[in-house]
Structure 1
Amino acid sequence: MPALDPGALMGPLWTLLAYVALGWLAARRLAVDPRPVATLLIYLIAPLTFFRALTLGGPTPGYLLLTLATFLTASLLALAVHRLTRHRFAAQESALLAFSAGTGNTGYFGLPVALVLLPPEGVTLYLFCVLGITLYEFTVGFYLSARGQFSVGESLAKIVRLPLVYAFLAALLVSGLGMAVPEAAMEGLAVFPATYTLLGMMIIGMTLGRVSLREVDGRFIGACVAIRYGLWPLLALGAVLVLQALAPLSPELAMAILLLGVVPMAANVVVVAMELGIAPAKGALAVLVTTLAAPLLIPLYLTLMMRLAGL
């Protein structure tokens, strides 16, 4: 594997922070309401982005096994965190903390880093791991978040209405039947990944534009940071070491797994919190803190983890 260059992280970081700043300006100067943006991301842009990624990737049983593994890992971790925190935090905070525990900024932040660190086959492996985490966000994660505000029946009804699950099934059907998506359609869908990144980060800034100092919750932010930069790196490293002990593990897959464990909190924490009305300001502050810490912690973590994993 290539040596890790900390400078490779600065480009993605400053780009993402610029998007956050644009969102802050939009909220403060133009009075843009972030709620319709969150709805647009969840019900239109995310499903089309997801569908395009799956059809381009050409899912195989091996790739889908990675997707299933990351989906189950994220779901079990979120359920465990929810069980541990539901009596220690308010209902909305516990729900948001549980949702954030199962995910990370694997796309907006992690993908540019993966493109620098991994060869093409490694990037493909990474993307199918990311798909599992994204699927978690809009199924189990969305349900846990909704339970902070709604009943079981209402939460399940909201999941049934989410189009991302149907986009996933449609992509599998198209690939399984060997159908080719028209080239003109794929060209039209090409704009959605960049749009997803731009609006996903801008919504953090839009939410921060409405935050006052009294909404800063050090206890909640501390819990988010501990899970994202404490629990996840250990989990990723442990997974690599166990897999290496059981069977030969390619360096590309090992590096992809390690990268999943060191990215900052997911911007979708704010998107889902905004859509469901569960403490979006606290979520935005936690996401910002972990994103600002990323260029300092990720090179340190990855260097140490790669050495321990023998990469």
Structure 2
Amino acid sequence: MENLAFGALSGPLLMLLSFVGLGFVAARRLAVDPRPIATLLIYLIAPFTFFRALMNGGPTPDYVLLTLILFCLSSAIALTVRRLTRHRFGAQEGALLAFSSGTGNTGYFGLPVALIVLPPAGVTQYLFCILGITLYEFTVGFYLSARGQFSIRQSLVKIVRLPLIYAFLAALLLAQLDIALPDALMTSLDVFPATYTLLGMMIIGMTLSRVTLAAWDTRLIVACTLLRYGVWPLATLGTVLLLQAFFALSADLAMAILLLGVVPMAANVVVVAMELGMQPQKGALAVLVTTLLAPLVIPLYLAGMLTLTGLG
């Protein structure tokens, strides 16, 4: 796949990093507060982005199965990490690590990359994969994060208030009823994906603008990096090999799944941490480290994993 060449990917990856720098400048020079933007991303922009993607993709049983598989994989990794590390980190740091372990920057960062390396059908499959991870973020992941600071009841109440769940259910219901939204309405939703990526990456820079050396947590950053670039590539590689053993897996779907394992830490780690008041500066530093590694890691990892799966 010629689109995996370092030169083909480096430009878009560096552009995404420039959005982080733009957020840093905006916060420093214009005194932009990232907290309202985090709220907008969670409660408005993300739901509309994924609702649009679901309506354009047309949910089918196979696509929903992809969503379920990735939701279960994300949840299993996060719950395992939480169990193994709960006594090794403080309450907030442990919750931050558990949340981040189950997700990655599959939307703000990974989606632009998917648009480069995948055809339209593969992008649709990728979207349903990241929907599973996003549902994890705003259900199991959000609960694990909130439990670092809130009671079980308070955590569940926060989940029930999240509109992304209802956007997903609404899209499935409309698909089942075979209801198509007017073209003018769908066209008006086209602004949300680019806004989602831009603000999602900028918020990392905005948070970093407030970071002090006291926020540097070597143990947390090393753990997050190992989980993101160690556990997740192995998990997605294992998933592809397992599916290949039982099904005729297309090259596009295999690539979509493998891409999930090589993106950096999720910017939503910062967004959720900010929304819950849970060490956002530490989260931002960990996200920055894995994001800076991404232009080097993504082409190498994908090339190696495609070879191992026989698709290279």
Normalised by the shorter chain, which TM-score bucket?
over 0.9
Aligned to 1:300: 300
Aligned to 1:154: 154
Aligned to 1:18: 18
Aligned to 1:116: 116
**Cα distance in 2, alignment partners of residues 157 and 105 from structure 1:** 26
Asked if 2 retains the 8 angstrom alpha-carbon contact of 1:8 and 1:113, the reply is no
Asked if 1 retains the 8 angstrom alpha-carbon contact of 2:55 and 2:175, the reply is yes
- Are 1:310 and 2:305 matched, yes or no? no
- 1:209-288 matches, within 5 Å, as 209-288=209-288
Asked if 1 retains the 8 angstrom alpha-carbon contact of 2:23 and 2:205, the reply is yes
Cα distance, 1:108 vs structure 2:
2.0
- Are 1:95 and 2:95 matched, yes or no? yes
- 1:49-128 matches, within 5 Å, as 49-128=49-128
**Cα distance in 1, alignment partners of residues 188 and 244 from structure 2:** 41
- Number of residue equivalences: 311
Asked if 1 retains the 8 angstrom alpha-carbon contact of 2:38 and 2:203, the reply is yes
Asked if 2 retains the 8 angstrom alpha-carbon contact of 1:68 and 1:132, the reply is yes
Query: Deviation string for 1:87-122 (max 9, x for gaps)?
Result: 000111111111111111112222222222222222
Letter in 2 for 1:246: F
Structure 1 segments, 4+ long, off by >3 Å, are: none
Q: Which runs of 5+ in 2 are unaligned?
A: none
Letter in 1 for 2:54: L
Asked if 1 retains the 8 angstrom alpha-carbon contact of 2:3 and 2:9, the reply is no
Give the alignment's TM-score, normalised by structure 1: 0.97
Letter in 1 for 2:226: A
Aligned to 2:27: 27
Q: What SS does structure 2 have at the residue aligned with 1:265? A: coil
Query: Deviation string for 1:261-292 (max 9, x for gaps)?
Result: 11111111110010001010011111111011
Query: Deviation string for 1:55-93 (max 9, x for gaps)?
Result: 111010011100111011111111111111110001111
Structure 1 vs Structure 2: percent identity of aligned residues?
74
Q: What SS does structure 2 have at the residue aligned with 1:138? A: helix
Query: Deviation string for 1:104-144 (max 9, x for gaps)?
Result: 11122222222222222222211110111111111111111
Asked if 2 retains the 8 angstrom alpha-carbon contact of 1:12 and 1:109, the reply is no
**Cα distance in 2, alignment partners of residues 30 and 116 from structure 1:** 33
Cα distance, 1:247 vs structure 2:
2.6
**Cα distance in 2, alignment partners of residues 128 and 121 from structure 1:** 11
Deviates more, 1:72-81 or 1:103-112: 103-112
**Cα distance in 2, alignment partners of residues 254 and 138 from structure 1:** 25
**Cα distance in 2, alignment partners of residues 187 and 124 from structure 1:** 18
**Cα distance in 1, alignment partners of residues 40 and 117 from structure 2:** 32
Aligned to 2:191: 191
**Cα distance in 2, alignment partners of residues 296 and 10 from structure 1:** 8
Q: What SS does structure 2 have at the residue aligned with 1:263? A: coil
Give the alignment's TM-score, normalised by structure 2: 0.97
Please report the RMSD computed on the Cα atoms of aligned residues, expressed in angstroms.
1.2
**Cα distance in 1, alignment partners of residues 265 and 142 from structure 2:** 16
Query: Deviation string for 1:27-53 (max 9, x for gaps)?
Result: 112222111111111111111111111
**Cα distance in 2, alignment partners of residues 134 and 101 from structure 1:** 13
Cα distance, 1:199 vs structure 2:
1.1
Query: Deviation string for 1:187-216 (max 9, x for gaps)?
Result: 221111111111111111111000011211
Cα distance, 1:2 vs structure 2:
4.4
**Cα distance in 2, alignment partners of residues 50 and 303 from structure 1:** 29
- 1:126-137 matches, within 5 Å, as 126-137=126-137
Cα distance, 1:243 vs structure 2:
1.6
Cα distance, 1:160 vs structure 2:
0.6
Q: What SS does structure 1 have at the residue aligned with 2:4? A: coil
**Cα distance in 1, alignment partners of residues 122 and 192 from structure 2:** 23
Q: What SS does structure 2 have at the residue aligned with 1:139? A: helix
**Cα distance in 2, alignment partners of residues 12 and 109 from structure 1:** 9
